[in-house]
Amino acid sequence: MTAEVAVRVEDKLFYNRYLVDSGRPHIKVRPHTTPTPALRTLLKACPGRCYELNDSGQVEVTVDGCLECGTCRVIGEPTGDIEWSYPRGGYGVLFKFG
């Protein structure tokens, strides 16, 4: 049973409530030409699939669907690949159940 199951993460994020702080992303990726191993890891490890490769092969983050778990921070902050903060007070994901 090694077959990958197809999962549409966007659909999952759609269940959630967010208050997006437009123009003030709380996570930033350090500019790079080719992604480091840590950045590559984030493409798969982020539960919100917020990290994606752009057309020129760099890793980009879109924080709109961020679940604020901190996984990317644990992986990418010590290596200097990302800068990580919480969103401003009140913004970001709002769990109704948690």
Partner 1 sequence: MIEEKFDAIVVGAGMAGNAAALTLAKRGLKVLQLERGEYAGSKNVQGAILYADMLEKLVPDFREDAPLERHLVEQRFWMMDDRAHVGLHYRSDDFNEEKPNRYTIIRAQFDKWFSSKVREAGATVLCETTVTELATDAYGKVIGVRTDRYDGEVHADVVVLAEGVNGLLGTRAGLREIPKANNVALAVKEMHFLPRETIESRFNLKGDEGVVIEAAGTISRGMTGLGFIYANKECISLGIGCLVSDFEKTGETPYGLLERFKQHPSVAPMIDGSEVKEYAAHLIPEGGYKAIPQLYGDGWVVVGDAAQLNNAIHREGSNLAMTSGRIAAEAIFQVKSRREPMTKGNLALYKKMLDDSFVIKDLKKYKDMPALLHNQSQSYFLTYPQLVSKAMASFVRVDGTPKIEKEKTTLRSFVSARSWTGLFGDAFRLARAWR
- Cβ proximity to partner 1, 4 vs 55, nearer residue: 4
59 binds ligand SF4 (CB under 6 A): no
Q: Give me the amino acid identity at 52.
A: E
Q: Give me the amino acid identity at 81.
A: D
List CB contacts of 91: < 8 A, sequence separation 6 or more.
Answer: 19, 20, 21, 24
What is the rounded distance in angstroms from the CA atom of residue 60 to the CA atom of residue 39?
A: 9
- Cβ proximity to partner 1, 7 vs 55, nearer residue: 7
66 binds ligand SF4 (CB under 6 A): yes
List the one residue from 28, 52, 53, 85 that touches partner 1 (CB under 8 A).
Answer: 85
- In angstroms, how far apart are the furthest CA atoms of the chain? 43
Using CB under 8 A, list all residues that contact partner 1: 1, 4-5, 7, 9, 12-13, 15-16, 19, 41, 44-45, 47-49, 67-71, 73-75, 77-78, 85-90, 92-98
